[in-house]
Structure 1
Amino acid sequence: MADPLASNSAQQNRTFLVIFLLLCALYACGHLQRNVGSVLAPVLNRELGLDARELGVVMAGLFLAAGVAQIPFGILVDRYGPRRACTLLLLFGVAGSALFAFAEDWPQLLLGRLLIGMGFCGVFMSSVVIFAAWKPPSEMTTWTGRITAVGGFGGILATTPMAGAIELVGWRITLLGVAALAALLTIAGHYMLRDRPPGAPLPVQKHESFRQGFVGVLHMAADPRIRPMLVVSLFMFTPMQLTVGLWAGPYLLVVHDLDAIARGNVLLAMMGVHLLAALAFGPLERIFNTKKWIVVVGAMIQAVQFLLLAWLGQASLAASITLLMGIAIVGPLYVMVTVHSQSSFPKEMTGRAVSVVTATSVIGVFLNQSGSSFIVQALSEPGSIGSALAFRTVFGLLSAIFLFVALIYLKTQDTNAPR
């Protein structure tokens, strides 16, 4: 006779697997949108005449909207659950994807990117909240790393496949296809996502106003446990979003004269090793029993790699590619920072804690991408998308930033229990 408990457990695991794969698909769609900048930048420069500053502002706009929307989204998650909050915002992402594909100038492109950023801002946070409801705390780093790796396949699609599709049918038709995919996944999310396992107790309903919710967020941001994480999170997405997401393509074109497919292949390799590396953070935490020191050591490695890229990258294509790959491998440090923040607070505050850290992270990408675009424009010829001096300057600044990140993260408290 079959054991009913084992049968229920197997059914629950199958349900969670479907939810996990759908969240991965949604995350992949958003990840494609975030990382398409390096491939699109030369195309938009050529066809619409965007210069480095305009390209930087357009691509960074996604992160500004995502960052601003994170805090109210976290409140919505705590009040109404991740499924309803996430699928509601995804409607804006679908509209923005379509608008971007039809845009004729950089303000229209910027509006499209703002809507995309708002629409997809909640997918990662919703995933973390759903994982916290379905899985034990000891598995959080593992599942967060898995969605980063599997869902990060969208970043791979933003490299050589995107470059090939643009050459085959043009960038507008390609991005309309992305909009159609986003619409289908939004519908699937509405009907198939589940906030918690069947039979799990409902969370205590919150009846606070949005004003009270914002006050609660401000109180959390002032908590000594999270303040160093907030400073560090300004730069946690920066390595990948300033390379694959924006400048690696123009850098390889301007400094090393690679064509579109060759540039796409380098970006593809970077995304591939990045996604594989994301799977390693769960085992690393278990082996070393620390979150804090993984982030500190990783930030120091990034500082060295960016310094070497600024120093040696112009002279050698092989050195440039090797260092870009190394930067991609260490890039998933944001997985550890996110889980560290989530584990620092009670479960009922998970949505708010993750939203504060994620908001700071994506606003940091906006500041870093837009700020770097002004540096690149100032050190380049008018109308161009960069110069060797401009990219060396940006990489040198990133080296100093990640040394600062390592020093700041020393102030955090590990949440791992002593062995």
Structure 2
Amino acid sequence: MPVPVNPGTAFVAGRVLFPFACGYFLSYLFRSVNAVIAPNLQADLGIGAGDLGVLTAAYFVTFAAAQLPVGILLDRFGPPRVQAGLMLIAALGAVAFASADSLPMLALSRALIGLGVAGGLMSAMKAIAIWLPRERWALANGAFMTAGGLGALAATVPVEWGLQVAGWPALFWVLAALSVLSAIFIFLAVPDEARPGHDGPGLAAQLRDFGSLLADIRFLKLAPVSVVGMGSGMAIQTLWSGPYLRDVGGLGQGAAAEIQLVLAVALTAGFTLNGIMADRLQRLGVTLAQTMIWTTALYVVCLVVVAAGLFPASPLLWVAFGLTCLTTVLAYPISSADFPVEKSGRVNALLNAVVFGLTFVIQAGIGWIIDLWPQTADGRYPAAAYQWSFGLLAALLAATLAWYALPLRARPRS
């Protein structure tokens, strides 16, 4: 695959990163929207926390299952073709969700959406690996993922306003139209450096690469903390922050959406600041791995505070949570740096498959644990339900972080 020579910053930002960022904005909006519309879904369908968790997490099942095929396609056909086609599938899923009238149909529609946005991050990571020098990957990664934070922000108070005006089916019709426009934009705007065809390794060789990656100690150290770090952060931000604020914080739906807006703003800032900080620290000799270890340790502290129910409705707590909850996204540039660029699509796709596959378990598992406690007369769950579910996540994250940090001196600098 040919690599562009010295592309200008404005060219890379406008013609490469921005089109993919529009798709990733929608991906995160789709991922996060159920945290706000959850009461409407529960009221319309008459479902409990367990069913809500499974319905929302259906997104992650197909998202994870698609990662390995998407990684192969990205390495073979290039990011623009793959991502544009996937966004059309997301549009179809949004139409189906808007038209569904039962729990199974909503779950299937959300699963289709998950398939359609499965390449949102990986296509951009592949493009970054093609168009930018390695030392700028962390900064570009942080800048790009800011678009995801903006999508999470859009899934808070703006969605709440939309619900009051037109309801959740109309919201998904709008998302379907935006997905089609995103597909067209990516296909027409992004320069295509891939050469479709059968040059390069065959399918069997690519599949063997996945097996070798799964046996690589660098991947085995990185994957667990990435799974629990990103999985817990996404599960809480995209769904369980809303019920938590209502049940533990005692807030109404509108006030909870305002706190979720604060969380989304902090999440967006966290993506940007994390990328800038990692880039600056690299120049001072601090590795990406070291940066991820310390920032993830801060997230463990925040998660413990949330689990304990201390200041549950405090904006400051949720600012801290948003700034730290997805710091393990540094795993993507770390893994890209550890392997050849021609394998970058498959490496990050495998990591993404593991992360999002187990995020389904985490998001649904939180609902199953919460359902072990009976609801009160007004439909709320007790604080103990959240203390146990979130507390188990904090303990698991601390254990996986220790596993990753233990052999730090033996791990290659990245």
- Scaled by the length of structure 1, the TM-score of the pair is 0.90
Write out per-residue CA displacement over residues 317-338 of structure 1, whole angstroms, 9 at most, x where no aligned residue. 455x433321211123132111
Contact 1:302/1:402 (8 A) holds in 2: no
For 2:40 and 2:276, locate their aligned partners in 1 and report how far apart those are by CA, in whole Å: 40
- Give the one of 65, 69, 79 matched to 1:68: 65
Alignment-derived partner of residue 172 in structure 1: 169
What are the within-5 Å matches in structure 2 for residues 10-409 of structure 1? Answer: 13-14=10-11, 16-196=13-193, 205-209=199-203, 211-285=204-278, 286-287=280-281, 289-313=286-310, 316-319=311-314, 321-381=315-375, 384=379, 386-409=381-404
Unaligned stretches of 5+ residues in structure 1: 1-7
Q: Does 134-143 or 211-220 show the bigger shift?
A: 211-220
Q: Read off the aligned partner of 1:273 and give its amino acid letter.
A: A
Alignment-derived partner of residue 5 in structure 1: none
Q: CA deviation at 1:259?
A: 2.0
For 1:335 and 1:66, locate their aligned partners in 2 and report how far apart those are by CA, in whole Å: 17
Write out per-residue CA displacement over residues 87-132 of structure 1, whole angstroms, 9 at most, x where no aligned residue. 2222221111111111111111110111111110111111011111
Write out per-residue CA displacement over residues 351-403 of structure 1, whole angstroms, 9 at most, x where no aligned residue. 11111111111112111001111111122339956332211111211210121
Partner SS state of residue 306, structure 1: helix
Q: CA deviation at 1:10?
A: 7.7
For 1:150 and 1:380, locate their aligned partners in 2 and report how far apart those are by CA, in whole Å: 38
Distance 1:168 1:136, change over 3 A: same
For 1:396 and 1:131, locate their aligned partners in 2 and report how far apart those are by CA, in whole Å: 36
Q: Read off the aligned partner of 1:274 and give its amino acid letter.
A: L
Q: Does 215-224 or 24-33 show the bigger shift?
A: 215-224
Q: CA deviation at 1:9?
A: 6.6
Q: Read off the aligned partner of 1:389 and give its amino acid letter.
A: A
Contact 1:28/1:152 (8 A) holds in 2: yes
Q: CA deviation at 1:215?
A: 2.3
Contact 1:233/1:364 (8 A) holds in 2: no
Q: Which runs of 4+ in 1 moved over 6 A?
A: 8-12, 200-204
Partner SS state of residue 121, structure 1: coil
For 2:375 and 2:234, locate their aligned partners in 1 and report how far apart those are by CA, in whole Å: 23
Contact 1:159/1:267 (8 A) holds in 2: yes
Q: Read off the aligned partner of 2:317 and give its amino acid letter.
A: L
Contact 2:149/2:271 (8 A) holds in 1: no
Distance 1:139 1:12, change over 3 A: closer
For 2:70 and 2:209, locate their aligned partners in 1 and report how far apart those are by CA, in whole Å: 14
Write out per-residue CA displacement over residues 199-243 of structure 1, whole angstroms, 9 at most, x where no aligned residue. x9999922512x442222111121112111122222132243222
Partner SS state of residue 225, structure 1: helix
Q: CA deviation at 1:12?
A: 7.6
For 2:328 and 2:299, locate their aligned partners in 1 and report how far apart those are by CA, in whole Å: 13
Paired residues, what number?
A: 403
Contact 1:66/1:118 (8 A) holds in 2: yes
Unaligned stretches of 5+ residues in structure 2: none
Contact 1:51/1:385 (8 A) holds in 2: no
Q: Read off the aligned partner of 1:81 and give its amino acid letter.
A: G
